[in-house]
Structure 1
C-alpha cells in the first residue's frame, strides 16, 4: 500500500482554510471554459487527509464495462444535499466556495463526492460531469485535493492539446464556464511511485 509523504511546505498549525479572493488565478480555455487554481488553499492538508482516510465510509464500486463487470479503480463516498460532511473543514471549504463564486454561479455548492486514489494504479477515465443539467448548462465543479499530488488532465472534447494541472496537499482546482460540456478531464494511471490522494468534488444541486 502506498504511504503518504507529507509536504515540507505545509507549515500550518492544524487544519486551516485560507482566504480565496485575489489568491485564485484563472486560466481561460476554449469554448467559454475556464479553470481556476489556488495552491495550498487548505493548510494542514496532510492532517485532513489522515482524518478523511480514517473516518469516511469508503466503498468500492463495480460497473458494467462492455461485456464485463469491473472494479472502479478508486474508492468512493458521496454526501448529498443536507448530509453532514465528514469533517468541519469541508463544510468551511464548501461555504467559502459558495461565497467566493456567488456572483458568477448564482447558487451554493451543496454536495460533496470523495475519491480515494490509493496508489498510481487508481485513476478516473476521461469524462465530463454531464449527469443532470450540466449537460446543457454552464456550472462549476470545485475540487480540493489532499494527500500526494496527482495530475488532473483536461482536453477539449473536439480534440486538441491537453492541459495538465498538478493537485495535492491542499490545492484547489475549479472547473467552470462550459468546461463540463466542452472539455473532458481525467486522473490517469501512472507507473511512478506516488502516494495516496483524496479528492473532494463540490457540486451544485442537480449536477453529477
Structure 2
C-alpha cells in the first residue's frame, strides 16, 4: 500500500503561498479512513491538557497525544503513510518524517487557535508538516503571519494536506470552532525537532 500512496502523491495539487510557503492537497488519500478513525479513537492514549492563558489556566479544546521517534503507530496504514510521505518529499525535505502528533476534535467546540509549528527548527528553517484527517470534515485556515487574507482548506475524511517551504515561519494555521460537527482526528507527521 505504501507504493500506491506514494504514486497518488504525484497527483497532489500544490498551491504556492507568499514568502516561499506552499501547501499540497490530496483528497481521499488515505485508504480505509473509517477503520483508521475507529482505531485511533479507541486505541490512542488521549489526554486533556491545560495551558496558561494570561492570568489563568484553561482547558485545551481538543485531546492530544504524540507518537515519538521509534514508537509504533496504532494503525498500519499510518506507518505506510509516513513511509510514502518520507519517500515522496525526500528531495525537498532532505530527511524523513519521524513523529506523529494526534489531535482529537470531539465536536465543533474543539479547535486550535492561529499558530505556526515554530518550536524547534521550524522557527528558523524551511520544513514540512503533513496532516492526515479522518472523521467529519473541518476547515483548516491559513493566513500570512502578521495578518492578511486567509485561505480555507476543507479537510475531508482521508484527506492529506502538506504545509511546506517557509509555511511554519511566514504563515499561521487554525481550525476554528463551528456550530455543528462530528468527531475528527488529525495526524500531523513531522521531521525531527519540529513542533
Which residue, 165, 182, 189 being the options, matches 1:202? Answer: 189
Which residue, 157, 162, 170 being the options, matches 1:174? Answer: 162
Moved runs in structure 1, 4+ residues, more than 2 A?
A: 16-22
Distance, in Å, in 1 between the alignment partners of 2:76 and 2:23 is 26
Would you say the 8 A contact 2:132–2:188 is kept in 1? Answer: yes
Distance, in Å, in 2 between the alignment partners of 1:39 and 1:185 is 19
Distance, in Å, in 1 between the alignment partners of 2:142 and 2:8 is 23
Q: CA deviation at 1:75?
A: 0.3
Q: CA deviation at 1:194?
A: 1.1
Further displaced range: 156-165 or 109-118: 156-165
Q: Write the deviation string for residues 23-52 of structure 1: whole angstroms up to 9, x where unpaired.
A: 111000000000000000012212210111
How many residue pairs match? The answer is 192
Q: CA deviation at 1:17?
A: 6.5
Pairing 1:63-142 to 2, within 5 Å after superposition? 63-142=51-130
State the TM-score, normalizing by the size of structure 1: 0.90
Distance, in Å, in 2 between the alignment partners of 1:99 and 1:58 is 29
Residue ranges of structure 1 left out of the alignment (5+ in a row): 1-15
Would you say the 8 A contact 1:17–1:42 is kept in 2? Answer: no
State the TM-score, normalizing by the size of structure 2: 0.96
Secondary structure class of the residue paired with 2:64: strand
Residue ranges of structure 2 left out of the alignment (5+ in a row): none
Q: CA deviation at 1:20?
A: 2.7
Q: Write the deviation string for residues 93-134 of structure 1: whole angstroms up to 9, x where unpaired.
A: 100000000110100000000000000000000000000011
Distance, in Å, in 2 between the alignment partners of 1:144 and 1:116 is 12
1:159 corresponding residue in structure 2:
147
Secondary structure class of the residue paired with 1:90: helix
1:32 corresponding residue in structure 2:
20
1:8 corresponding residue in structure 2:
none
More helix by share: 2
